[in-house]
Amino acid sequence: MPSAISHAAMAVATGIAFAPRDVPNHFWSLSIFCSILPDADVVGFVFGIPYHHFFGHRGFFHAPLFALLVSIFVTIFFFRATELFSERWFFYFIFFFMLSASHGILDAFTNGGLGIALLSPFSKTRYFFPWTPIEVSPIGIKAFISKWGFMVIKSELIWVWLPAFLIAVLSTAIRSVAARQ
């Protein structure tokens, strides 16, 4: 994984770019939640679930199908005031799906660990993209506070935070120009 905080940075930048101005506050916390939730699968290690297992790290919980389930759950339970199947409802549904699914996609750009089961549950194959510029983040705080951790932070600053920052700044500029017209 890129570290959780980098997934969250991308989620917030995407929200700044695409979310309507009047979204409720919990939209932002749920955006961060959806972007980091797949990594909750590391808990499996504690219970002896091996990395390559269906429910192992980067398994089913990193697949777009799981993202779809998350987005259905979040939209139905946390946006009950929004009319079902209205334009706003579809925005939330698609947005939370994209955020949850983007987690596995971002992970597929990392250079270590096992690949991502992007087609789970239909295939057990683990995938990486042919180009993997992001230094894989170690699992656990202890390993993170190390030289490896610094390499991860450096590569995430370049490959995740910089694009996220540019997305946020450019989209804010475009939206404020559009709002004036």
Please give the single-letter amino acid code of residue 53.
H
In 3D space, the residue among 20, 30, 35, 113 whose CA is nearest the CA of residue 77 turns out to be 30
Q: Which of 1, 13, 74, 164 binds Zn ion (CB under 5 A)?
A: 1
- Which segment (38-46, 67-75, 118-126, 127-135) binds Zn ion by CB under 5 A? 38-46
Quick one: 52 or 175, whose CB is closer to Zn ion?
A: 52
Q: Which of 11, 39, 108, 167 binds Zn ion (CB under 5 A)?
A: 39
Cβ atoms within 10 Å of 136's Cβ, excluding its own:
19
Handedness of CA 110, 3, 138, 74 (dihedral sign): negative
Quick one: 91 or 128, whose CB is closer to Zn ion?
A: 128
* 156 binds Zn ion per the rule CB under 5 A: no
Binding pattern for the stretch 134-153 against Zn ion, x by CB under 5 A and - elsewhere = --------------------
- Which segment (31-39, 122-130, 146-154, 157-165) binds Zn ion by CB under 5 A? 31-39
Cβ atoms within 10 Å of 21's Cβ, excluding its own:
6
Which class for 52: exposed (0-12), middle (13-18), buried (19 or more C-beta within 10 A)? middle
* 41 binds Zn ion per the rule CB under 5 A: no
Quick one: 36 or 167, whose CB is closer to Zn ion?
A: 36
Q: Which of 3, 74, 107, 136 binds Zn ion (CB under 5 A)?
A: 107
- Which segment (72-80, 106-114, 150-158, 173-181) binds Zn ion by CB under 5 A? 106-114
- Per the CB < 8 A criterion, the answer to whether 107 and 156 are in contact is no
Quick one: 75 or 103, whose CB is closer to Zn ion?
A: 103
In 3D space, the residue among 34, 88, 81 whose CA is nearest the CA of residue 61 turns out to be 34
Residue-wise DSSP of 4-52: HHHHHHHHHHHHHHHS-TT--THHHHHHHHHHHGGGGGGHHHHTT--TT
Least distance to Zn ion from the beta carbon of 112, Å?
12
Residues near Zn ion (CB under 5 A): 1, 39, 107
